[in-house]
């Protein structure tokens, strides 16, 4: 088997050293693909790719996804391109500088031009943030389907910069699909959790796990009654890989969700219980973390009916099992058990 073998899938994954990106790399390698990972390592971790780097079918390129001179030869030889590179997390989005915003826009522009030229399949990972506050004024029990209206706050609230950028990425991807006939699809991920995720930039589950294992107070922003849906990383990866191979997925948008709805308070209490932690819950005002210009979303829960119809998607196990697996994969978990 050689890289010149046209029967072998050749994949480019941007953001390959990130939490989700590294799991995608592993899945593609397990399917027998050649994979080139691209990551500027701003938030990615080389340790996430320890296994992949031992595989002769994987190569890591440390570069920006906006660098066309690096991306062009990689995409020219590819059959599939998965674009995951982006800043992520509410905390990081709330602190994002102009250069980061521009780099994200330059990256999607660069990649879509190259995809239009060389015609590999293209998958854009988008986000539940795309919907903004759409459910906060909706009827109780309402769900977000792929056609739901988007409701954002003021541009003075920097949190919405991420949602705005991902919306532009979606618009550009769908336009290229229509205008140039590329096979491009979009997946909107809802709060993916699992091994390798870290809480540095704000995701609640790894942050709660790290605090629980250290027996520190579990910090809940606001009142903890925010409602969310979570997705285990293995389910998310399985879904997007199957969608990429679906012959009719071009031009389509899919929600990928899993467990829920649950309140953030419930998540915190469950993590404490599973970790057998002595942590208590501490409520922290938003302004203490994000400053005065911040808005939260109080309810965000997807409809996954389209995903079920297209690929028979069903989240595996339960939310508590996903939390347990995520907890046990944390490097401090064994230490916490010994100290018990």
Residue with tokens 């690096």: 70
C-alpha span between 135 and 149 (Å, rounded): 10
Which string of b and e fits 274-298 if b means at least 16 CB within 10 Å? bbebebeeeeeeeeeebeeebbbbe
Phi, psi of 25 (to 5 degrees): -55, -45
**Residue 225 contacts residue 298 (beta carbons within 8 Å):** yes
Residue with tokens 């995520």: 326
Give bridge partners of residue 284 from the DSSP assignment.
Answer: 221
Q: Which two tokens stand for residue 70?
A: 């690096």
> Helix 264-274 to helix 204-213 angle, to the nearest 10 degrees?
40
Q: Which residues are catalytic?
A: 162
Residue with tokens 């903890």: 224
Per DSSP, the three-state class of 114 is helix
């Amino acid at each position: 088997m050689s890289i010149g073998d046209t029967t072998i899938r050749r994949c480019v994954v941007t953001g390959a050293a990130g939490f989700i990106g590294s799991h995608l790399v592993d899945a593609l390698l397990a399917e027998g693909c050649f994979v080139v990972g691209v990551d500027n390592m701003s938030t990615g971790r080389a340790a996430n790719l320890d296994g992949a780097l031992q595989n002769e079918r994987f190569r890591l390129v440390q570069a920006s996804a906006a660098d066309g001179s690096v991306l062009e030869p990689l995409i020219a030889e590819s059959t599939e391109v998965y674009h995951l590179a982006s800043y992520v997390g509410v905390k990081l989005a709330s602190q994002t500088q102009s250069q980061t915003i521009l780099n994200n826009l330059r990256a999607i522009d660069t990649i879509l031009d190259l995809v239009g030229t060389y015609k590999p399949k293209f998958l854009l990972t988008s986000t539940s943030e795309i919907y903004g506050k759409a459910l906060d004024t909706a009827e109780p029990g309402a769900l977000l389907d792929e056609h739901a209206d988007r409701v954002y706050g003021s541009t003075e609230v920097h949190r919405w910069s991420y949602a705005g950028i991902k919306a532009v990425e979606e618009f550009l991807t769908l336009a290229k699909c229509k205008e140039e006939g590329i096979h491009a699809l979009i997946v909107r991920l809802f709060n993916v959790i699992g091994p390798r995720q870290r809480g540095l930039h704000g995701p609640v589950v790894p942050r709660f796990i790290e605090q629980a294992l250290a027996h520190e107070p579990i910090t809940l922003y606001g009142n903890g009654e925010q409602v969310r849906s979570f997705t285990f990383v293995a389910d998310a990866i399985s879904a997007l890989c199957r969608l990429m191979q679906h012959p009719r997925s071009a031009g389509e948008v899919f929600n990928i969700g899993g467990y829920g709805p649950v309140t953030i308070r419930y998540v915190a209490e469950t993590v404490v219980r599973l970790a057998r932690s002595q942590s208590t819950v501490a409520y922290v005002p938003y302004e203490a973390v994000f400053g005065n210009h911040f808005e939260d979303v109080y309810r965000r829960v997807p409809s996954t009916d389209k995903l079920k119809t297209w690929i028979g998607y069903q989240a595996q196990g339960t939310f508590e099992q996903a939390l347990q697996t995520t907890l046990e994969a944390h490097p401090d978990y064994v230490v916490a058990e010994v100290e018990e």
